[in-house]
Structure 1
Amino acid sequence: MDDYANRSYGEIPVGFGAKPGIVVVDFQVGFTDPRYPLGGAPLVARAVENTARLLEAARGMGVPVATCNTAYMNEREMPYWKITAVRETFLHDHPSVALDPRIYRADYDLAVTKKGPSIFFGTGVADYFAKERVDTVIVTGCNTSGCIRASAIDSFSHRYRTLVPEDCVGDIEEGPHRDNLRDLGRRYVDVTDLATVLGHLEEWRRRNAA
């Protein structure tokens, strides 16, 4: 028996609203390239490939996209990260902070540099989505247990309908990936997948073309 379900957690779906936007969290080469200490996790590699497919379709439909990296001027500017690799490599002049070219299109995407876990914290992404009249946010990126969780909760807190496609987000280990998605899905978001999101976008495109 699932005691959360017995207490009504997860009973009400969030659903898809009037206009979607996509956030792409931290698909910088420091996470996507195995040459770097935090890079090359299999779940992240899968998520990059699936997110690239999602973005290709979404841009063709005119869906707003906001993407971010995490980078700092120096260690003094950083929060109190407990991760040595972040402190040593996530610096503005380090190659690991470049956005992965598979998910970034400079002439289309809003690109911001964040200083904390959430793509919404102190970045202007919410202002951009307000101008675009976005009411539904699709969260992609890494890592599920850290910056995806924080971004999804901030999206919820901004009163967006929030969807997290499981195969478009990734983490270093599968356990935290699954655990955090399960918890987010009980409270704040619809956990879905790439195929379902693509179906939502196509339905949205047809509805607006009519």
Structure 2
Amino acid sequence: MKRLSRQEIAVRVAQDIPAGAIVNLGIGMPTMVTEYLNPDKEIILHSENGVLGMGPAPAAGEEDEDLINAGKQYVTLRKGGAYFNHADSFAMIRGGHIDFCILGAFQVSATGDLANWHTNQPNAIPAVGGAMDLSVGAKQVYVMMELFTREGECKLVEQCTYPVTGLRCVDRVYTDIAVFDITATGGFSVREIYADITKETLQEMCGVPL
């Protein structure tokens, strides 16, 4: 079955970011989106550690140790970019000034609940970060993730069984097999299917109403 790579998922997400948007990219897979944004669009990237106007990763040998994103990866600063206090950064988030937030997830529920900071496994390291603020502070929340776990369990669920990050906050989910919207009344709506399968087969694989 055809599946998108993580890089291809990032390409697909980048296509849906409109010009003029202020966007926060969560750690992990979402940081890949930076490399695929259309340079002809003025898209302003925000990082919760206090950067506005981030650019793509620097070329090898040109890294600035003082310029990193929230995931501690080296980034560049676009013309007009700015640094500021961590508290100011979260004031932007909590004040509703972030248009889009792209986050990873362990589970997304049919009502748009997000679980992305702990799996309840005894050896797992909790990593809330700024996701709780972003999930409720951003105007739209997009999730990037592979549709199934390594054990074959679907990450789209009726109700989250992992600790919840935010309630009714997810608008769209991008996966390696399909893209899903969360409907206003609750439930997953299939927006696109990349794999060479029918919606009926996808329904059987996911096990939640589509």
TM-score, L = length of structure 1:
0.35
**Larger relative contact order (Cα-Cα within 8 Å, sequence gap ≥ 6):** 1
- Pick the structure with more strand per residue: 2
More helix by share: 1
